[in-house]
A and B are shown apart, each in its own frame.
Chain A
Amino acid sequence: MSQTGSGEDVRLAEGIDHQVAMVMDLNKCIGCQTCTIACKTNWTDGGGREYMYWNNVETKPGSGYPRDWEEMGGGWDEEGQERTPGDLPESEDYGRPWEFNHEQVMYEGSDEPLRPMDQADWGPNWDEDEGAGEYPNSYYFYLPRICNHCTHPSCVEACPRSALYKREEDGIVLVDQDRCRGYRYCVEGCPYKKVYYNAMKKTSEKCIFCYPRIEGEGPEGEVMAPSCAEDCPPQLRMVGYLDDEEGPIHKLVNEYEVAVRLHPEYRTEPNVYYIPPFAPPQHSESGESVEAERIPRNYLEELFGPAVNEALNTIERERARVERGEESEVMEMLTTTDTADQYRLEVFDE
């Protein structure tokens, strides 16, 4: 627990100097999966990781990845004291890697279109763009997900060998590959299903928040934001420290409270936050706007908890201010294209 100057309470995990965090503005996600591929080619193109997406983008409402992960349990009870048991997903729930007819199309001159050969009956974001609701008021939005590097991570608690740990310097949650014996209690225990079992290595692996990049281990020795953030075409991810009072993360999360947690009821206290989707209103059959929200509030509450209501109200107020020609720090932070404002990763460097 640390107290910031402005009086807001920023809860950090015990023994953590600073907590790295991300805010994703769901209003900007176009579902292009650039982040997914950036992550995949950086970290998960090795053996045993074919099915793994440390970063994935799913369509909501939808079953997600792994399929129906929200039904699999894990996390903590209401008091946040006792872990609630979770399930191990089936490999089919992740979707098996598909075989394509590359050989025939590329080398044998087949006229067939390039397509998966078989087993193509489920995969990450299989239900892309399906959403819910009826024409003309159907709705969906994209939900990019990485490990939340939780303040109270149930994956860490689940491991009987303490092979998962939260780094002291920035709260990044990592798996010690030498200590891990592949028991998979972390996979069960994470309610976001963001730890994966590598059957080839017989250990668990997960998103590392691109820690070598934020440590400046890149080719130029520069500090860089995680790949999923840097490579996102609409630049919807802000990265920094939750306890950096001057940064957008702290302001959006703690000051304006417009960035909310996904499934706060799991009580792992995620450090990835979302600006909830702010969809245009519903339309009548004749195409007129009507006074009804397109994405039902109760669905957003299911995802982001009751705090989503205040967040949306605040955003609406702030938008109205900008429309009136007034200043709005919130809208400035959400619309900036200056990466220096989006990524503040060197504030605590000595």
Chain B
Amino acid sequence: MDRRPLLLAAVLALAVVATTVAVPAMVSARPAYEIPVTAADDPDSLDSAEGEAWTEVPAAGVPLSSAGAAVPGGDDTTVENVRVASARTDERLYVRLSWEDGTRDTGADDVREFPDAVAVQLPANESARPPITMGSTDNPVNVWYWNGANASQELLAGGPGTTTTLTDSELRTAATYDGGRWRVVFSRPLAGASENRTTITGTRDVDVAVAVWNGSNMERSGQKATSEWYYLALGPGPQGPPYEAILWTVAGVAIVLTTLVTIEGVRRTRGE
């Protein structure tokens, strides 16, 4: 009696079971440090920090810790987490950050008053990852900065203490504070890369790091809560919906195959 088909059937059956259990888990656990980028087509809604469109965009929870910079109180930071979501249309890239902060600090009108602030840091040139501490002279970073006291700024930095404002910025921001939570949306046209401005294409991931300042704790400058390097999943890598689809296709094919092989095996065993 030929036992091989039976064995094959058993193995395949096991594989189906394993795949069925594992696949959903695998697709919901994104690769570490990934910030998924959702394709969307409602720019007006994305432009607003509370826009409907953002409910459809998955966010990554990003842990923060103090940057440890050599300024007085450099280690004294208060924000521990920020949620980062990203979406793109054909024209623009959007990044929305949201974090908890019990006090809404939007002034800098008194000598002891500092505003809440947030920044997104991208390598100015995507070909090499710059040092996380604001880049370096030969590997600068492009920074999108917003604070509660004034409009946003686009900056270039080549190491700590070197930020310079880029004057021809096309950066847009919108912010809301509600229920003890800041929500800030940054967006930039996909086009418009330059020597000092990150190239964003749909074909490559882009490194990204974030920083948050709590104004009521007099946080400013290097006294800030920062993340490690993450990446905006813009490239074709194992990510988001295509990744999920491939896995489910593999699983589906396996189920069909297994069923066929099992049937065949049973038939042969019966000597048909």
Taking the closest CB of chain A, its distance from the CB of B218, in whole angstroms, is: 8
Residues of B contacting A97 in the complex (Cβ-Cβ under 8 angstroms): none
B71 at the interface (CB under 8 A from A): yes
The chain A residue with its CB closest to the CB of B69 is A160
Taking the closest CB of chain A, its distance from the CB of B163, in whole angstroms, is: 7
Knowing A85-B72, A188-B72 are in contact, say whether A183-B220 is a contact too (CB < 8 A).
yes
On whether the beta carbons of A88 and B108 are closer than 8 Å, the reply is: no
The chain A residue with its CB closest to the CB of B220 is A183
Query: Within the assembled complex, what's the spacing in Å between the Cα atoms of A89 and B218?
Result: 13
The number of residues on chain A lying at the interface, defined by a beta carbon within 8 Å of a beta carbon of chain B, is 21
Residues of B contacting A187 in the complex (Cβ-Cβ under 8 angstroms): 111
B179 at the interface (CB under 8 A from A): no
The chain B residue with its CB closest to the CB of A161 is B161
Which residue in B112, B161, B220 is a CB contact (below 8 Å) of A90? B112
A145 at the interface (CB under 8 A from B): no
A119 at the interface (CB under 8 A from B): no
Query: Within the assembled complex, what's the spacing in Å between the Cα atoms of A182 and B113?
Result: 11
B189 at the interface (CB under 8 A from A): no
The chain A residue with its CB closest to the CB of B112 is A88
A81 at the interface (CB under 8 A from B): no
On whether the beta carbons of B71 and A199 are closer than 8 Å, the reply is: no
Query: Within the assembled complex, what's the spacing in Å between the Cα atoms of A161 and B108?
Result: 19
Q: Digit string of B101-118 for contact with A (CB within 8 Å is 1, else 0)?
A: 000000011111100000
A181 at the interface (CB under 8 A from B): yes
Q: Digit string of B55-88 for contact with A (CB within 8 Å is 1, else 0)?
A: 0000000000000011110000000000000000
Q: Which residues of A contact B (CB under 8 A)?
A: 85, 88-91, 94, 158, 160-162, 181-185, 187-188, 196-197, 199, 202
Q: List 7 A-B contacts (CB under 8 A).
A: A89-B111, A160-B70, A161-B163, A161-B221, A183-B71, A185-B72, A202-B108
Question: Which 9 pairs across A and B sit closest by C-beta, in order of nearness?
Answer: A161-B161, A183-B221, A160-B161, A199-B109, A197-B111, A85-B72, A183-B220, A88-B112, A91-B110
Told that A187-B111, A188-B72, A199-B108 touch, could you supply 16 new A-B pairs with CB distance under 8 A? A85-B72, A88-B111, A90-B111, A161-B161, A161-B162, A181-B163, A181-B221, A183-B71, A184-B111, A185-B221, A196-B111, A199-B109, A199-B110, A202-B108, A202-B149, A202-B150
